[in-house]
Structure 1
């Protein structure tokens, strides 16, 4: 019976109007406290679970936001979603996660996205690493249904809001740090070249070499796939070079590839950082606990999540105000404006170089020694 109860039933049992029950469900302040308590008690006694999607649509706009993520197991997801959740949690909105746990991340998931949109369940959508689906999401983005891409690895569509990090600057600072430690033969393990981030990190690497007057050696640049196996394979290829051409340092385009490079060095009997320094990119949670702890470029996933949620809420509230101009949709952390749609927002957040033991900085930077796991931002 509880599943069949409607707002009308709750109103009848509480002796109030349907509109009053609706105001309680939507957390409106203009309800007498005693009446609110009575309505909530009736709901609890009857086991009533409101259909928040339906109640939102009845008012013209849903109070739900969607987040499309590749997999909950990705190391960046927990911190990113913690930032999103903290911002959304301070508002009247709720968050729904759509996890596409697909081994083949290259697949276009437009079919799933289309089903999400057709339900009219959410008022806006965050998409983390959408991959091939980015173009479809860009086509969906509009004033009535805002879409925001987070850290897409390709070139973001021109008409869609997008937030990422400055990969080129982060890679430049990592390489420059190795140069300042005295390294001249610095290898680079790239991410897959089909991704824009891989090109950006390679350009940052080249920028630092050029600035220091170090010629680029093509033999010291190999392509990986962001995962440990290719980091190991590329590092082994570097170690197979003649002694005079081997790198004394490796800058990997991801922490996972850096893990593989360290494993390859250990297998060869090489010590990190004594024989070869290693630097990664991402600052995964496990990187501080590697042996030795990994020097890396931190992506501010938590801050990205907060910023992305604030941006999407601003878009959604601007859309709500256009449809219902009499409503005051402002709340903490969000300033809606109809101008947020033109031109589309592009945000590049700064990275931080996190110096740990794997680069050997403690032996070189006597003015500021770094203990394993310590942080130093740029």
Structure 2
């Protein structure tokens, strides 16, 4: 297997850092409107039929959208094993809460309409709301903690020690990032409901989505200001070996105020990410108010992509900084799998990613169209 030498190790590491960003954006955009729709369920739907309309707006596609979460987890496990080990062990309770919510969601979808009892259906409606709210909030809280640094370290044998706690993750800046994530996904869910429904459901979705879009704009800008003023970033203070071994302890690193904005100064084109995050949210608000369905959904998608990518652009080359021992921080250059592993994964990705995109596009084309109350009533045996 000498083919892997055709692509340099540092290039492969950079490619997989970019692919990780693509997978995170793919998950946030696709499963994001599922989560946002679940959060909007008790607000957009006032009657049982209206709530079934909301549920059926995402019912046919939510399972396929979770493929991006699986791909993201698999990519982290195979391409960035140290990141997988630290994050999935350190954030164990947070991950468990997300997993619990994602398990509850399909159960609620399947069982909600099995009985006519109003109390039964209300309980499952609450479960669906929680299954959207918890992941939307915690994913943002996790990003806020990553930007501040996570309390982990390595010993001489590269054993991982995490010295944080679940409630320690709930600090003010991380909670603000959680609110950004929550508002962002509610906005996205509202644009999806505007596209897939009509009548009172779509009107309520537009109203709440407009508030969420403005909240996304304000909270994201506020988070950026606080990141600049109060959150210390990390920088590598030793020589960077982009093709060196995957041992974070071989470098030295330090914290520095405002350093998370250094990449924007050094490479002005990276400013495109936060600009898209802000401009997309503003345009989504306009699209919701003007009832421009496609515009609002595309703008919301652009906003999500910009917000997610701005985290990566700010932190590069860091992936997971350590607040206990800055030199233990994981970077693109010292925490990846081997040269051969990254190459094999790239070949597999080049084969299967287009198939996934093609299949997903075909599914959305087949299922295109609005969900209305008449169809829900007439197809009670074939709808959620």
TM-score relative to the length of structure 1 = 0.25
Bigger relative contact order, structure 1 or 2 (CA pairs below 8 A, ≥6 apart):
2
Higher helix residue share: 2
Greater gyration radius: 1
Structure 2-normalised TM-score?
0.25
